[in-house]
A and B are shown apart, each in its own frame.
Chain A
């Protein structure tokens, strides 16, 4: 079945919207390194037809949100297609603003997405730790919840927070391939949960969840710079779903989530 050699030039429309990527130096990049500035990140994404991205700064994760969130705003200056997202921490230690003030800062900086990394940055998501933040974000700003492992404990946390704060829109990020048995009922029980697909490498996974809970509940992501774009890109492009569903997952679901913020 060897095909004849074909020559063609295709024009890629910068249309995909990446929900999960970082700019800045990282401690453990792959052999191709990290993106030290926004130009390099955007140029790499453009190769795959990714024309917009919701970005965080690697130092917000690997050093501290206070430093990283500020570096992000400098790094994204002049890049209209790269939208900022800030990492949040619990405020009790004084290292991070109280939720009401944090939301004001989001507003004045025009930041429309918040991320938490409870596993990496070592905090619980119980109400007595993070409840004030959830309440402040609910109905205001979507929360991108990055998980280290899709453990039973994490699934229970997601269920509890999603049902306690039905107006809080939660995008679960960095999942693995083994999530379907819990994720299916979770997304059915909690209509305010979305899934970011960057780590979702399950056989026919995007097709399955599109049918099981709806393509409007998935958002495309890459996990750049740590992960190559080819795999999550191919999972979306080869998924056996119609083009409307592909466009929703690739772009418009995330646009709609980010349109929630009043600013």
Chain B
């Protein structure tokens, strides 16, 4: 690989002893650890362009990065058409059950249809999680139309991937009201800088995880979150193709954490929840 080419011409090599996952990332090799990406949205870019983005394209990227499983919810499902989007993911789950985990999207603005979708996708098609996007669907996470969604997740013991932008008090209330549901708060690790209460809140909630996808990328941020919340509260998600899958993957791989902590973030904390 590339790293090897450079090693060959080493004028003044610096000796450094990265752990195995950091060594993989330094060389641009597929990560050899078991890795689950809990956050991805197959589909074309709407408000901006990126190359590819379809399910097959995302799988090819996983081959390069060494991500074993990605949790798919369609870009169009968190946008205009959640039925069409869920159908796209159903096909990917059917074609690649060993790489793709389906997360069904309910749009709370269509409550009847949302309920039908959850039953169909989870009970009949093997989806293993739910994705909600209260910002894109412009509906508060504590609104009444989300109650059946939380109850469904609680009944089935499913993870719900959700954008945060809400208070730690609300997160605690949801987590304790629906103890069998698992809440994965997307982008939440970046909120720790201005909302340290979030990390203090989730550390005591075993069914709550925080994920670090996003453009924010302050140096030391993941480490600071782990220090307060505990490593068990952190899970890897990239939000690709909305961002590169490698963006936060590189962040975790090179974080000032132990290899064991990185393994927990990359898959150990969440694989049981996903039945893997």
Q: Which A residues are closer than 8 A to B by beta carbons?
A: 1-3, 5-15, 29-33, 46-49, 51, 176-181, 201-205, 207-208, 224-238, 240, 243, 246-247
Query: Which among B82-90, B120-128, B175-183, B241-249 touches the partner chain?
Result: B241-249
A1 touches B219 (CB 8 A): no
B215 near A233: Cβ-Cβ < 8 Å: no
Can you list 10 A-B contacts with CB-CB less than 8 angstroms, sorted by A residue number?
A7-B20, A8-B20, A9-B17, A49-B3, A177-B50, A203-B50, A204-B50, A229-B254, A230-B254, A233-B254
With known contacts A3-B32, A31-B220, A181-B48, A176–B16 Cβ distance under 8 A: no
CB–CB A230/B251 < 8 A: yes
A interface footprint on B216-256 (CB within 8 Å = 1, 0 otherwise): 01111101100000000000000011111111111111111
B246 touches A231 (CB 8 A): yes
Q: How long is the Cα–Cα vector from A181 to B50 in the complex, in angstroms?
A: 9
Q: Are A227 and B17 in contact (CB under 8 A)?
A: no
Q: Which residues of B contact A (CB under 8 A)?
A: 2-3, 5-7, 9-18, 20, 23, 25-28, 32-34, 47-53, 57, 61, 64-65, 68, 193, 215, 217-221, 223-224, 240-256
Docked CA distance A240–B52 (Å)? 13
Chain B residue with the shortest CB-CB distance to A244? B5
Q: What would 5 more interface pairs be, CB under 8 Å, given A46-B16, A228-B219, A233-B254?
A: A12-B16, A176-B215, A205-B50, A231-B251, A240-B64
Task: Choose from A203, A226, A236, A243 the contact partner of B218 (Cβ within 8 Å).
Answer: A226
Q: Which residues of A contact B53 (CB under 8 A)?
A: 203
A233-B254 Cα distance, complex, nearest whole Å: 10
Name A48's contact: one of B65, B242, B254 (CB within 8 Å): B254
A230 with B250, Cβ < 8 A, contacts A13-B10, A201-B244 known: yes
Residues of A with C-beta under 8 A to B12:
14, 51
Q: Say which residue of A180, A228, A240 sits within 8 Å of B220 (CB atoms).
A: A228
CB atoms of B255 and A230 under 8 A apart: yes
Indicate which residue in B20, B25, B34, B224 contacts A237 across the interface (CB closer than 8 Å): B25
Chain B residues lying within 8 Å of A203, measured Cβ to Cβ, are: 50-53, 61, 240-245
Q: Is the CB of B218 within 8 A of A8?
A: no
Residue of B nearest to A242 (CB): B2
User: Whole-angstrom distance from the CB of B238 to the nearest CB of chain A?
Assistant: 9
Cβ contact within 8 Å between A201 and B247: yes
Instruction: Provide the bound-state CA to CA distance between A33 and B5, in Å.
Output: 33
How far is it, in angstroms, between the C-alpha of A11 and the C-alpha of B15 when the chains are bound? 5
- Least CB distance from A148 to B in Å reads 14
Q: Give, as a whole number of angstroms, the nearest-CB distance from A53 to chain B.
A: 14
Q: Hey, which chain A residues are within 8 Å of B25, CB to CB? A: 230, 233-234, 237
A31 and B32 contact, CB distance less than 8 A: no
A11 to B246, CA, bound (A): 22
Contact in complex: B221, A204 (CB < 8 Å):
no
Total contacts A-B at CB 8 Å: 196
Asked, given contacts A10-B26, A48-B254, A178-B47, whether A231 binds B6 with beta carbons under 8 Å apart, the answer is no
With A228-B254, A233-B250 already in contact, the answer to whether A13 and B13 are too (CB < 8 A) is yes
- A205 CA / B219 CA spacing, docked (Å): 22
Task: Please tell me if the beta carbons of B219 and A225 are within 8 angstroms of each other in the complex.
Answer: yes
**Residue of B with least CB distance to A10:** B23
**In the complex, are the beta carbons of B253 and A230 less than 8 A apart?**
yes
Please state if A180 and B48 are interface contacts (CB–CB under 8 Å): yes
Q: Is the CB of B219 within 8 A of A29?
A: yes
What A residues does B219 contact at CB under 8 A? 29-33, 224-229
Q: Known contacts A202-B50, A226-B218, A230-B254; is A10 also within 8 Å of B18 by CB?
A: yes
A29 to chain B, nearest CB (A): 7
CB < 8 Å: which of B5, B16, B34, B215 contacts A177? B215
CA of A217 to CA of B224, assembled, Å: 36
Q: Which residue of B lies closest to A6 (CB)?
A: B20
- A258–B27 Cα distance when bound, in Å, is 27
On chain A, the residues within 8 Å of B15 by CB distance are 9, 11-12
A163 CB → nearest B CB, Å: 23
In this complex, what residue of B is CB-closest to A211?
B51
The answer to whether residues A177 and B48 also contact, given A48-B26, A230-B250 and a CB cut-off of 8 A, is yes
Give Cα distance in the complex from A31 to B256, angstroms: 12
| Distance in angstroms between the alpha carbons of A231 and B170 in the assembled complex | 31
Closest to A236 in B: B28
> Which residue of the partner chain A has the closest CB to B17?
A9
Give the residues in chain B near A205, CB-CB below 8 Å.
Answer: 50, 244
Assembled-state Cα–Cα distance A168/B121 (Å): 56
Q: Are B23 and A204 closer than 8 Å at their CB atoms?
A: no
Bound-complex Cα distance A31 to B240 (A):
25
Docked Cα-Cα span, A233 to B2, in Å, equals 13
Contact of B223 among A2, A7, A32, A235 (CB under 8 A): A32
Interchain CB contact under 8 A, B220 and A237: no
Instruction: State in angstroms the CA–CA spacing of A243 and B3 once bound together.
Output: 9
